[in-house]
Structure 1
Amino acid sequence: MRVVVAGLGDSGILTAMRLARHADVVGISSKTALVSGQELGIRLSRPDDWARDYWIALDRFRGLDRVRTVHGVLRGVDLEARSVTVEHADGTTGAQPYDALVIATGVANGFWRRPTLQSQDDVAADLRAANDRLAGADSVIVVGGGAAAVSSAANLAATWPGKRIDLYYPGERPLPAHHPRTWTRIRERLNGLGVGLHGGHRAVVPDGFGCDEIGTGPVQWSTGQPPAGADAVLWAIGRVTPNTDWLPPDVLDDHGFVRVTPELRVPGHPGVYAVGDVAATDPLRSSARNRGDGLVAHNVLAEFDGKPLRSYRPPARRWGSVLGPQRDGLEVFAPNGSAFRFPAWSIERVLLPLIVRRGIYRGVRG
């Protein structure tokens, strides 16, 4: 059985690893490495730390040794003939047949999550340009109320305590998808870092806005406040675009995400599944953060063996880390808002080498 995994981000890589023990797997990626969309704040403020843990060449993953990876961009799919069309890095186009297809192409979101074909040098240039832009700014406005915005404000303030960092968000509090206790704890951290908090500010998004660069002020507000200015403006408003322009409209919902059943199967198309941010599982599209890779891998194999499929049960709230690793450790929040802290020493000695690299990713070469 041949399985094509379309997209090798976090969810795609983990799914491909699980399937490779039982099937012939082909993974298609526009990057030659995992370029994670996680931890935007660390990526912007401490790019070397981020690159060590979240930018990993595909050939370093031992679990992908059995997976044939194709560097290219998906251009189409024939669901009846069971074949995807790929434009390769050299400009040629080819077909990849499949018995089962797992759609894990994720979403585009700002300059840090793009579906374009990129080499390692391209990714490195993006990392350095964003860091240089913010390092040279005396004041930064972060616009948005989600985890990416909150993390960015906190990490920028921790890295450059001399800068003026202000977080503007539209609601009464940021992190609306998290338990209120989570925001209470994070607010204490932001106050301690000197981040200015400005609730009730809904930004006017400029015409032609593409979320593809760090901008400049002033920022206008539709909620009536005076414009706000800064040397740099980071837009982290959560305006994501699913990477599904290669798919036929009948498999997509009204917002362009892939429609799935509770089993993560695309309705009406046997052997076709979706997982991660691209899959319309629930309002939070949470399968990327709740080990949907294991479920979809099980169901792909079970369908071909005629065995029962499992259903995905999304959590009611977001959970996990918000700020990422800090000098005093890593704080992880449960769905009920309670926090567990990994002490700083355990991150490099236990969490990353044993739990993440060996346990989750099945071994990462140095």
Structure 2
Amino acid sequence: MERTRIVIVGGGFAGVECARRLTRRLDSAEADITLVTPAGYSLYLPLLPQVAAGMLTPQSVAVSLRRVLRGTQVLPGGAIGIDTKAKNCVVRMTTGEIVDVPYDYLVLTPGSVTRTFDIPGLEDHARGMKTLAEAAYLRDHMITQLDLAAHSLDAEERAARLRFVVVGGGYAGTETAASLQRLTAAACRRYPRLDPSQVKWHLVDIAPKLMPELGDDLGFKALTMLRRRGIEVSLGVSVAEVTAESVTFTDGRKLPCHTLIWTAGVAASPLISTFEAEKVRGRLAVTPTLEVPGAPGVFAVGDAAAVPDLASGEGAICPPTAQHATRQGKAVADNVIAAMRDGSLRPYRHRDLGLVVDLGGTDAVSKPLGIELAGLPAQAVARGYHISALRTNVAKVRVLTNWTLHAIAGDDFVRIGFFAQRPANLRAFEYTDAYQTPEEVRERTNRSSVVGGPFGFR
């Protein structure tokens, strides 16, 4: 009996949870399960700012797929096109080779990419915080600015290198600004020639409130914590222009600056635009049972899918959070199995359990199950949640060990040497220009007959 071919695109929260559940609940003789992802690890994204700040090592938030997916074939590449009629997934391998991967069932969990706008100089001079490599690079860049400022005899250059701007007042931007501000504050004690008062941090967001999902009270407490630590927060403001040495805001201010960190939201993976299907706010429309209408055998979950939020009322869609992605991954696996066995598919339903925001030290705000917490209790909840959410005991031990060592011994502020001679731009770590158009995908399918094989390569 020929095994069913299940292809999962994306190695994030949803994709990995889907693969884990499928391998546990399906017999090896029933299906060939392939996970398409360019990296050999699953990234625990919420702790990425702490990697940039040196509190955690990169390995502690990167869970090896070989460790957690022993019954799944991991294909090192990225999907760049989908032909839903021919049931073919076009994959660009990490070597650059393009191959066809046929499927019987396709689960799309390609995630998201950094959302940008048509701002002069943004993509050339901004840095992102979306990938593990970006976090490691940003740490190098920050320490480099401190090194150069400490040895500069030019007061204007020193001021520019010691000014850091974070754009985006959501969870990612706020935690990034808070974590990296603690990095520079601690580092200045190791630089006798640097005056800590010269280090300037700015957090800007076009929204009128900081992290509005937290509510007015907790949002105000988080704002107070940031300002108490010397971070200037500007709301209702965005960026008008970026150069290598300055940032101009929409309120007319022009600040000398060598570091702009862009965390102003995310957009669905460009893969979604490679095939014709209904979109909702840029995300792929799916039914409550996580199926893509008009595409037999295709399911979609995670950041790139507009999953109806049945727990929040009619018309709502699930926010792109790790909490929803993890549970959607399990739900879609169950529905794929039900579809294989001619069973009934179940609609996805999950009520959000709350939010946690770690601002470093004893600064934190949390809202577990609707209960508002701030300070040390909120920090305990935030870190407890992160530990429980990590997929393996090895990852849990690594993170706990890193937190303990950092609290006791501090940071050595060592640079690795990423892009030492050439600075990396915003798109250096995110591949957003390699995707095929729907016409190119159809033309490729028409030119060749897709065949099977261990991965279904052609």
TM-score category by the smaller chain? 0.7 to 0.9
Structure 2 match to 1:189: 225
The corresponding residue for 1:119 is none
Structure 1 residues 17 and 363: CA distance shift in structure 2, 3 A: farther
Counterparts of 1:259 and 1:345, CA distance in 2: 34
- What is the rounded CA distance, in whole Å, between the counterparts of 2:347 and 2:10 in structure 1? 22
Give 1:140's aligned amino acid: F
**Residue 120 (structure 1) aligns with:** none
Aligned AA (2:60): D
Select 2:139's aligned residue among 131, 145, 151: 131
Task: Work out whether 1:59 is the aligned partner of 2:57.
Answer: no
Q: Is the 8 A contact 2:246 2:256 kept in 1?
A: yes
Distance 1:131 1:19, change over 3 A: same
Q: Which residue of 2 aligns with 1:81?
A: 86
Question: Within 5 A, what are the aligned runs for 1:24-173?
Answer: 24-46=32-54, 49=56, 51-61=58-68, 64-109=69-114, 111-113=128-130, 126-135=134-143, 136=145, 137-161=161-185, 162=196, 163-173=199-209
Match of 1:95, SS state, is strand
Amino acid at match of 2:9: A
1:275 aligned to which of 276, 285, 301: 301
Count of aligned residue pairs for this structure pair: 339
Contact 1:107 1:113 in 2 (8 A): no
Following superposition, the deviation at residue 105 of structure 1 comes to 0.5
Q: Gapped runs of 5+ residues in structure 2?
A: 115-126, 146-160, 186-195, 308-315, 399-458
Question: Larger Cα Rg: Structure 1 or Structure 2?
Answer: 2
Map Cα deviations across residues 251-305 of structure 1 (whole Å, 9 max, x no partner). 2416542111122211122321111111122556336422211211122112223
**Within the alignment, does 1:237 sit opposite 2:264 as a pair?**
yes
Distance 1:351 1:60, change over 3 A: farther
In the alignment, which residue of structure 1 is the partner of 2:373?
339
Q: Percent identity?
A: 23
Look up the equivalent residue of 1:8 and give its one-letter code: G
Whichever residue aligns with residue 189 of structure 1, its letter is: M
Mean CA deviation greater in 51-60 or 353-362: 353-362
Per the alignment, residue 19 of structure 2 pairs with 16
CA contact (8 A) 1:178 1:335 kept: no
Higher normalized helix content (fraction of residues): 2
How far apart are residue 353 of structure 1 and its match? 6.4
SS at match of 1:150: helix
Q: How far apart are the structure 2 equivalents of 1:360 and 1:264? A: 32
For residues 275 and 8 of structure 1, the distance between their equivalents in structure 2, rounded to whole angstroms, comes to: 12
Amino acid at match of 2:355: G
Q: In the alignment, what sits opposite 1:117?
A: none
Tell whether the 8 Å contact from 1:253 to 1:259 is kept in structure 2 after alignment. yes
Distance 2:233 2:388 in 1: 37
Partner residue, 2:336: 300
Are the counterparts in 2 of residues 322 and 332 from structure 1 also a CA contact under 8 Å?
yes
Cα-to-partner distance string for 1:89-127 (whole Å, 9 max, x where unaligned): 23333222222111011111164436xxxxxxxx65x44
CA contact (8 A) 1:40 1:151 kept: no
Give me the CA root mean square deviation. 3.4
Instruction: State the alpha-carbon separation in 2 of the partners of residues 90 and 31 from structure 1.
Output: 13
| 1:17 CA drift (Å) | 0.7
Q: What is the DSSP-based 3-state SS (H/G/I as helix, E as strand, rest coil) of the residue aligned with 2:212?
A: coil
Partners of 1:345 and 1:105 in 2: CA distance: 30
Partner residue of 2:355? Answer: 320
Query: Partner letter of residue 254 of structure 2?
Result: P
Shift of 1:361: 9.0
8 Å contact from structure 1 (residues 106, 242) kept in 2 = yes
Structure 1: gaps (5+ residues): 115-122, 210-214
Give 2:401's aligned residue. Answer: none
Residue by residue over 1:160-188, the C-alpha shift from the partner in whole angstroms, topping out at 9 and shown as x without a partner, is: 22332121122321112333333133223
Distance, in Å, in 1 between the alignment partners of 2:388 and 2:112 is 29
Deviation at 1:233, TM superposition (A): 1.7
The one-letter amino acid paired with 1:95 is D
- Judged with a 3 Å threshold, the aligned counterparts in structure 2 of structure 1 residues 278 and 337 are, in CA distance, closer, same or farther, namely farther
Q: Does 1:200 align with 2:236?
A: yes
Normalising by structure 1, we get a TM-score of 0.79
Maintained 8 Å contact 2:87/2:103: yes
* Equivalent AA in structure 1 for residue 302 of structure 2: G
CA distance in 2, matches of 1:329, 1:304: 49
Q: Are residues 311 and 181 of structure 1, via their aligned partners in 2, closer, same or farther at CA, if it must alter by over 3 Å?
A: farther
Secondary structure, in 3 states, of the residue corresponding to 1:250? coil
Q: Is the 8 A contact 2:286 2:299 kept in 1?
A: yes
What is the deviation of 1:146?
Answer: 1.1
Of 80-89 and 328-337, more deviation after overlay is shown by 328-337
Q: In structure 2, do the counterparts of structure 1 residues 51 and 353 end up closer, same or farther at CA, with 3 Å as the change threshold? A: same
